[in-house]
């Protein structure tokens, strides 16, 4: 059975993952309102992925005999000044989440909860991938700058991403 303390920090992370999902859904909507449907769909996939992260954490808690208590989800930002700003904030947000996951690993190791540490390693690897993929988008957006043909092509490329539930 999971400790009360570990249960508490994972419970907090469920909320953080739901907040990420809410934030990306807000960003997706901002893109939709500006007819950037490729970016909107990329962000929608991102939101679905974060929702999946929250339920993965919840399922783990339940599997370990823990319990979850849902907290209110903070209101996400809903307006930005440019597509680059949205993508840059996504990158910053993911870096912050990586820090949160690292804190969870520290907590698991501190109490020698090897099962939780093992579970969390999936998220450690996921963060490496997330930071790399959004980092690449940031770099491409900087290359494009104010070039509308570039933005048009980038929107098409972003639209190719589809969310699929990862195999367990």
Residues making contact with Fe ion (CB under 5 A): 17, 50, 53, 130
What is the closest distance, in whole angstroms, from the C-beta atom of residue 93 to Fe ion in the complex?
A: 8
What is the DSSP-derived secondary structure letter of residue 79? -
What is the closest distance, in whole angstroms, from the C-beta atom of residue 68 to Fe ion in the complex?
A: 16
Burial of 168 (0-12, 13-18, 19+ CB in 10 A): exposed
CA 120 to chain centre: 15
Smaller CB distance to Fe ion: residue 17 or 113? Answer: 17
Smaller CB distance to Fe ion: residue 130 or 155? Answer: 130
User: Hunting for tokens 């992925």 — which residue is that?
Assistant: 49
Residue closest to Fe ion when measured from CB atoms: 53
Q: What angle do the packed helices 37-63 and 4-33 form, to 10 degrees?
A: 170
Smaller CB distance to Fe ion: residue 50 or 113? Answer: 50
Smaller CB distance to Fe ion: residue 137 or 151? Answer: 137
Give phi and psi for 162, each to the nearest 5. -125, 145
What is the closest distance, in whole angstroms, from the C-beta atom of residue 115 to Fe ion in the complex?
A: 20
What is the closest distance, in whole angstroms, from the C-beta atom of residue 130 to Fe ion in the complex?
A: 5
CB-CB contact of 20 with 55 (8 Å): no
């Amino acid at each position: 059975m999971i400790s009360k303390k570990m249960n508490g920090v994972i419970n907090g992370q469920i909320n953080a993952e739901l907040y990420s999902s809410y934030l990306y859904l807000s960003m997706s909507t901002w893109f939709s309102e500006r007819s950037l449907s490729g970016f909107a769909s990329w962000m929608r996939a991102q939101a679905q992925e974060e929702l999946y992260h929250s339920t993965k954490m919840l399922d783990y808690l339940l599997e370990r005999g823990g319990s979850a208590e849902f907290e209110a989800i903070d209101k996400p930002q809903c307006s930005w000044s440019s597509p680059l700003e949205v993508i840059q904030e996504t990158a910053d947000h993911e870096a912050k989440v990586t820090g949160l996951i690292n804190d969870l690993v520290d907590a698991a190791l501190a109490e020698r909860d090897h099962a939780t540490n093992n579970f969390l390693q999936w998220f450690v690897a996921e963060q490496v991938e997330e930071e790399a993929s959004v980092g690449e988008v940031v770099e491409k957006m900087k290359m494009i700058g104010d070039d509308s043909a570039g933005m048009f092509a980038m929107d098409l490329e972003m639209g190719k991403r589809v969310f699929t539930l990862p195999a367990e």
